[in-house]
Amino acid sequence: HRSLPHTHAQTEFKGSTHCRSQLQSSMASDHRLGALKAFDDTKAGVKGLVDAGATVVPLIFHHAPESLNDAPHHHDHQFAIPVIDLAGLATPSGRASAVGAVKAAAETVGFFQVVNHGVPEAAMSAMLAGLRNFIEEPVEAKAPYYTRDHGRRVRYQSNFDLFQSPAANWRDTLFMDMAPEPPAPEEIPPACRAVVPEFAGLVQRLGSTLLGLLSEALGLRRGHLEEDAACLEGLSLACHYYPTCPEPHLTLGTTKHSDPSFITVLLQDAVGGLQVLVVDDDKQNPAWVDVPAVAGALVVNVGDYLQLLSNDRFKSVEHRVVAKSAGPRVSVACFFRTDGSTRVLAPIVADGGNARYRNTTVDEMVRHYRAKGLDGVSSLQYVRI
């Protein structure tokens, strides 16, 4: 009989231990939320931490070791990111060669770089300089643009998913929704007001060229993706600033993710840090491969919407940006999306094939993306059959 009280006491002890761990977890969660809110309220972003002389990375930016080291980093890999020259598109043979190269890249690694793309280097340099000038302004000059209101076409913030993601990323961003309805000039910060509309127009023209090549690579008429699928209808710029990091081994510039777009065109400076997750032909042995900075080139990648439209023929591949002690790194990601949030995304199924995705809308895909943040899980899994 003596054991009964002992058992009861053990149960009580286990119960109190469980309650204590729940309480500790709740307190840790509250503390983290408080730290996130305090950081956000400064409206100074990661740049503000660095300017204040931070010599350590705050806990809210610490990523779990398993997410930092989820695959080896290969400097030399069979899947080098191809560089495609668009200079010969005016001739039938030159165009056929470019279509073949784009098709091979889109079907395998999902990334390629383009040169002789029609965006002058002066416009590219001016865009990067304008972004750098804005982010490096005093906090009080940037604060009016700092917002989490998706209704505003120009939004400066640090981490769009700050309150959803498991860990914050070491970067600040100026978002601008440029098409179909561009912001009024006064909505764009003065530091980049002159260059943004010009750069966006040049990138849209390149987007039309790329969508033509990708349409032909799918065996469709040249105008299909632009006109029938409305892939050129919406354009958003995510202008990223990655400050130098005192402890780059603890955090990331951007977590592993794939893009909520048809295609993304990226302008990056020479600092480097962008990596693509590649697998071999058997979908085994994933490895991180660097996307090197090629002078005058723009990086292009397939987004989730195009993988869905192509019924998995084209690959929307996961990628990330590592934090670096060098820098700052500055880049501009140009996301081609459809403006119609209710527009149906439906896979283009080859004769005799089966659809791998159910029909969905852009609105549904964006809701998944915003709700979960950059958690390394593709939104495509929610619509896969």
CATH of the domain at 103: 2.60.120.330
Q: What percent of the chain has pLDDT over 70?
A: 89
The range of the structural domain enclosing residue 248 comes to: 15-382
Residue 285 lies in a domain: yes
Residue 5 lies in a domain: no
Residue 338 lies in a domain: yes
Give pLDDT tens digits for 249-277.
999 999 999 999 999 999 999 999 999 99
What confidence tier does 363 reach under pLDDT thresholds 50, 70, 90?
A: confident
Residue 7 lies in a domain: no
Least confident interval from 28-42, 108-122, 246-260: 28-42
Three-class secondary structure assignment of 113-178: EEECCCCCHHHHHHHHHHHHHHHCCCHHHHHHHECCCCCCCEEEECCCCCCCCCCCCCCEEEEEEE
- Tell whether the model's pLDDT for residue 4 goes beyond 50: no
Question: What pLDDT is stored for residue 256 in this prediction?
Answer: 93
Out of 23-37, 69-83, 233-247, the most confident range is: 233-247
- Global pTM reads 0.91
Residue 150 lies in a domain: yes
pLDDT, mean of residues 7-28? 58
Total number of domains constituting the chain: 1
Residue 1 lies in a domain: no
- Tell whether the model's pLDDT for residue 372 goes beyond 90: no
Q: Distance (Å, rounded) from C-alpha 123 to C-alpha 128?
A: 9
Residue 179 lies in a domain: yes
Which tokens go with 268? Answer: 């990056």
Question: What pLDDT is stored for residue 19 in this prediction?
Answer: 59
- Tell whether the model's pLDDT for residue 40 goes beyond 70: yes
Residue 3 lies in a domain: no
pLDDT, mean of residues 70-99? 88
Query: Which residue would you say has higher pLDDT here, 1 or 76?
Result: 76
Give pLDDT tens digits for 136-189.
999 999 999 999 998 899 999 999 999 988 999 999 999 999 988 899 999 999
Three-class secondary structure assignment of the chain: CCHHHHHHHHHHHHHHHHHHHHHHHHHHHHHHHHHHHHHHHCCCHHHHHHHCCCCCCCHHHCCCHHHHCCCCEECCCCCCCCEEECCCCCCHHHHHHHHHHHHHHHHCCCEEEEECCCCCHHHHHHHHHHHHHHHCCCHHHHHHHECCCCCCCEEEECCCCCCCCCCCCCCEEEEEEEECCCCCHHHCCHHHCCHHHHHHHHHHHHHHHHHHHHHHHCCCCCCHHHHHCCCCCEEEEEEEEECCCCCHHHCEEEEEECCCCCEEEEEECCCCCEEEEECCCCCCCCEEEECCCCCCCEEEEECHHHHHHCCCCCCCCCEEEECCCCCCEEEEEEEEECCCCCCEECCCCCCCCCCCECCEEHHHHHHHHHHHCCCCCCHHHHCEC
What confidence tier does 83 reach under pLDDT thresholds 50, 70, 90?
A: very high
What confidence tier does 3 reach under pLDDT thresholds 50, 70, 90?
A: very low
Give pLDDT tens digits for 328-359.
999 999 999 886 667 889 999 987 789 999 99
Question: What pLDDT is stored for residue 21 in this prediction?
Answer: 61
What confidence tier does 30 reach under pLDDT thresholds 50, 70, 90?
A: confident
